[in-house]
Amino acid sequence: MSDITRVFIVEQDEPALIMLNLYLDQFDDIEIVGSATARPELEQQIGRAKPDVVIYNLPSASETLPSLISNLKSRCTCPALVCIREGNFLPLEGTFRQTPEALLPSFTTVTNLVETIRRSAAKYKVSAQVSAQLPLSKAG
């Protein structure tokens, strides 16, 4: 049996959130550890759930996405972030530059989404192991 990937879903459209939950629930190696439709207390919910991957599906008009992503990435235990987004990805380019995230267009297939979740989780788990094993050194 393969490792379980813990997933948290952020989706503003409640019916889409339910459908995505139901779809991902059929995979034995994916566990939905939380979901949300709005931003209030979202960072705390994600922190409590301790996911390997957070999936965001927010419209391109969302002004809160870059600040939310930046806040999550500033934490030591930031999960891999997968963003499904309509429109232009350029405003997010700097935010996503240094971590194993994925940017997916809104017309991506669910098969591609599942593959992306698995790849992102694998990268996240490897980078977390490496970070935990790196010794601290004194700068002289």
- Total-model pTM: 0.76
* Interatomic CA distance for residues 109 and 103, integer angstroms: 13
Question: Which strand (E) or helix (H) includes residue 54?
Answer: strand 53-58
pLDDT band at residue 61 using 50, 70 and 90 as cut-offs: very low
pLDDT value at position 64?
A: 63
CA count, 13 A, side-chain hemisphere, 52: 22
In the predicted model, is pLDDT for residue 102 greater than 80? no
- Give percent of the chain with pLDDT exceeding 90: 24
Quick count: other Cβ atoms within 10 Å of Cβ 122? 16
Paired with 7 in beta bridges are: 32, 53
pLDDT value at position 23?
A: 93
By DSSP bridging, strand 53-58 and strand 30-36 are: unpaired
| Greater model confidence, 28 or 12 | 28
Cβ proximity of 36 and 22 under 8 Å:
no
Mean pLDDT of 26-54: 88
Greatest Cα pair distance in the chain: 56
Cβ proximity of 76 and 70 under 8 Å:
no
Give the dihedral sign, CA 92/16/122/107. Answer: negative
pLDDT value at position 84?
A: 79
By DSSP bridging, strand 5-11 and strand 53-58 are: parallel
Fold exhibited by the domain 5-129: Rossmann fold (3.40.50)
